[in-house]
Amino acid sequence: MGLLPPTVDPPVTDERSSERATDGAAGNSDAVSDNGDDPDGRETAGETNEPNDVDGPDESSDDDGPGEADGEITLATFHEACQREGRPVLTAGAVARALEYPHDAVSERLDDLADRGDLERLSVSTDPVVWYPSELEDLTDRERIVVFPKRREIVVDRPEQFTRAQLAQFAHLADANGADGYRYVVRPEDVWQAPHDSFEALERTMRQALGSRNDELEEWVHSQWDRAHQFRLRTHEDGYTVLEANSPEVMGNVARQKLDEEHVHAPISETEDWVREGAEAAIKRILYEAGYPVQDHRDLDSGESLSIDLEVSLREYQRTWVDRFAESGEGIFVGPPGSGKTVAAMGAMAHVGGETLILVPSRDLARQWAEAVVEYTSLEPAQVGQYHGGQKQVRPVTIATYQIAGMDRHRSLFDDREWGLVVFDECQHVPSDVYRRSTHLQSRNRLGLSASPIREDDRQTEIFTLVGPPIGTDWQALFDAGFVAEPELEIRYVPWGDEEQRNAYVSAEGRKKYRIAAENRGKVDEVSYLLSAHPNSKALVFVDYLEQGWEIAAALDVPFLSGETHHHERQRLLEEFRRDERDLLVISRVGDEGIDLPTADLAIVASGLGGSRRQGTQRAGRTMRPAGGALVYVLATRGTREEEFARRQLQHLGRKGMTVRERTVDSSDES
């Protein structure tokens, strides 16, 4: 898609200028004009389809304009007009409308800017001329950054690695539109968690990233920086916790309006409240949701010292993660599967140098963590313990399941030991009732790990307040650097396997309707076809329903690994797959997060499209390792709601830079 507005036909008079204008826009228009639902639950601002009106602005308009009718037009005011119109290529009428200037005067001044080389003219068939900044001419050869301060968006084409690293410190990558276009959004939480000791340091980072100052954006960022430093929790000299505010006004108008006797005992002064024991996490969450993140300065347990050396070199981005964590002692490492979050966490353990508790969703992950800690650090096996249904050892480094750590009869074992670091693996679970009971273990240092801290119930805010802010590298950067392979995703719309199921689907309702489509027997044939088309691949086939899993496994004559599979049998099958003694497994949703699946270069999702976006990330991620050629096929029954589920579940992966294709399967082609 080019830079020209949707209602402007392609230029016909100057072929070379046409190529420059359209090629230079590659990636940018898509990045700015997406009007779909944002996968993180935000609404994105899109390009407005205004008519190419060559007349001046409506004199009756009540919109506020930037200047007088005879005001000067500079390159800066042209950029302001672009901001107001939501596009970088404008007609004279659009400039006049945006700035509320007379059309004739605008045309003259645009000619003057063009004569000076600041703007370029481009003739098109439906309007005498459109205008765009001359800097767009160089778009194919160099990085270009366009800031939309009112929407707090930054669009970058051809971004350099330095720019992306700087932007990651204060902005969220909302869209990776192919190889060239990136759309960043500066959200309040991005400013709140910026890794800087002062606003002046953050301001320098912004100007380095953007190449210049932007007063409007900087003013808003400054306001958010101030909000993030209005409240703090600290430990009183008598040992209890105090909530302190910067001023009596913010304490009275915010904290004392939002908190009640469940959270605080009584005021100590105009700016201080005595916090009830155990209410700290709730206070942090409530004030965070009110737009006032709380700085945590409590004298929390630091644990016994433990000398840990990391015996593997960290990649540059992993070292950046550890450095970011070291600055505040809390945070969540966010990156795709295969990006080395576990090894980076061991780097954080080495930095802290204290006894460590690692919480995981299952005993399989506990075992794998214990093996990894011994393999990648200087610790001896006797220093590493597991605490779950199979083993109960508390050691200097202890790996426990969330369920065990949250049980009353086991909790004192963990409370009695002071931990220098608590690691929450798969921390997207933390807000759930079962898992959050373990978050009372508020050590001085808290670290979370997650490929995708997205929750369908929108409770990810609780993750950040209970554990810490996200720390990560955009996925596209890891793909570009070759650290993680970028899998190709293809949604395949499969016909019904038999008329009986199709008729049952038509007459069914609700979840039953969805399940019939998910278990379409036509998918068994499609799985067999895809495996035969990739005969040398190591493959994983994912299902959501046990009956379907058994059916596919029987048809392929391979094991089906599910929650019913005995622990030792599950471990044996996975080890055989890792050692290349087995090249195919059928796996239920137990493989989504509860176990660390071995790497595959082919994944087929036969069912599970009604699941979460996080589930789609996990399953696609089973092919993400430093090796190319990985494929993910997602099967959806043609003409059913599965089509919508497939697009929705994988939409945010496409926004992270992955290639997502769609194909309708014709059974005659595969016969």
Q: In terms of pLDDT, which residue wins out, 578 or 670?
A: 578
CATH number at residue 529: 3.40.50.300
**Of 227, 250, 283, which residue constitutes the final position of a domain?**
227
Report the DSSP beta bridge partners of residue 417.
none
Separation between Cα atoms, residue 614 and residue 481, nearest integer Å: 24
CA 609, 613, 614, 617 dihedral sign is positive
Q: Are residues 338 and 293 in the same domain?
A: no
Q: Are residues 471 and 327 in the same domain?
A: yes
Number of structural domains (the chain) is: 5
Residue 364 in contact with residue 389, Cβ under 8 Å? no
The string of DSSP letters for 163-228 reads: HHHHHTTT-EEEEEETTTEEEEE--HHHHHT-S-SSHHHHHHHHHHHHSS--HHHHHHHHHHHHHT
**Residue 667 DSSP label:** G
Q: Is residue 2 part of a domain?
A: no
Q: Are residues 87 and 186 in the same domain?
A: no
Instruction: Determine the average pLDDT of the residues in 235-252.
Output: 94
Q: Is residue 310 part of a domain?
A: no
Q: What is the mean pLDDT of the chain?
A: 77
Instruction: Determine the average pLDDT of the residues in 393-402.
Output: 91
Q: Are residues 660 and 557 in the same domain?
A: yes
In the prediction, which pLDDT does 598 show? Answer: 59
Q: What are phi and psi of 238, to 5 degrees?
A: -90, 5
Q: Is residue 458 part of a domain?
A: yes
Separation between Cα atoms, residue 540 and residue 586, nearest integer Å: 6
Q: Is residue 182 part of a domain?
A: yes
Q: Are residues 464 and 327 in the same domain?
A: yes
Of the ranges 171-185, 228-242, 604-618, which one carries the lowest mean pLDDT score?
604-618
Instruction: Read off the pLDDT of residues 362-383 as tens digits, 9 standing for 90 and up.
Output: 888 899 899 999 999 999 999 9
In the prediction, which pLDDT does 565 show? Answer: 86
Instruction: Determine the average pLDDT of the residues in 32-41.
Output: 35
Structure token digits, residue 599: 């790497």
Report the DSSP beta bridge partners of residue 470.
332
In the prediction, which pLDDT does 135 show? Answer: 61
Q: How far is CA 136 from CA 207, 275, 358, 498, 568, in A?
A: 21, 56, 51, 56, 61
Q: Which helix (H) or strand (E) holds 281?
A: helix 280-289
Q: Are residues 362 and 406 in the same domain?
A: yes
Q: Is residue 8 part of a domain?
A: no
Instruction: Read off the pLDDT of residues 466-489 as tens digits, 9 standing for 90 and up.
Output: 788 888 766 666 666 666 656 678
In angstroms and rounded to an integer, the radius of gyration of the C-alpha atoms of the chain is 28
Residue 382 in contact with residue 588, Cβ under 8 Å? no
Give the burial string for 131-152 (b: 16+ CB within 10 Å, else e).
Answer: bbbebbeebbeebbbbbbbeeb
Q: Is residue 304 part of a domain?
A: no
Does 104 score more than 90 pLDDT? no
In 10 A of CB 240, how many CB atoms?
Answer: 13
Predicted structure pTM score:
0.55
Q: Are residues 128 and 150 in the same domain?
A: no
Q: Are residues 513 and 545 in the same domain?
A: yes
Separation between Cα atoms, residue 286 and residue 249, nearest integer Å: 18
**Of 208, 227, 246, which residue constitutes the final position of a domain?**
227
Q: Are residues 506 and 642 in the same domain?
A: yes
Q: Are residues 389 and 462 in the same domain?
A: yes
Q: Is residue 302 part of a domain?
A: no
Pairing of strands 119-124, 127-133: antiparallel
Q: 574 lies in which domain range?
A: 485-669
DSSP SS3 for 123: strand
Q: Which of 32-41, 71-80, 267-276, 596-605 has the highest mean pLDDT?
A: 267-276
Separation between Cα atoms, residue 127 and residue 20, nearest integer Å: 19
**Of 227, 262, 281, which residue constitutes the final position of a domain?**
227
CATH number at residue 36: 1.10.10
Instruction: Determine the average pLDDT of the residues in 225-252.
Output: 94
The string of DSSP letters for 125-177 reads: TTEEEEEEEGGGGGTTTS-EEEEETTTTEEEEES--HHHHHHHTTT-EEEEEE
Report the DSSP beta bridge partners of residue 305.
354
Q: Are residues 659 and 547 in the same domain?
A: yes
Q: Are residues 88 and 152 in the same domain?
A: no
In the prediction, which pLDDT does 299 show? Answer: 79
Does 54 score more than 50 pLDDT? no
Instruction: Determine the average pLDDT of the residues in 483-512.
Output: 85
Q: Is residue 293 part of a domain?
A: yes
In the prediction, which pLDDT does 267 show? Answer: 94
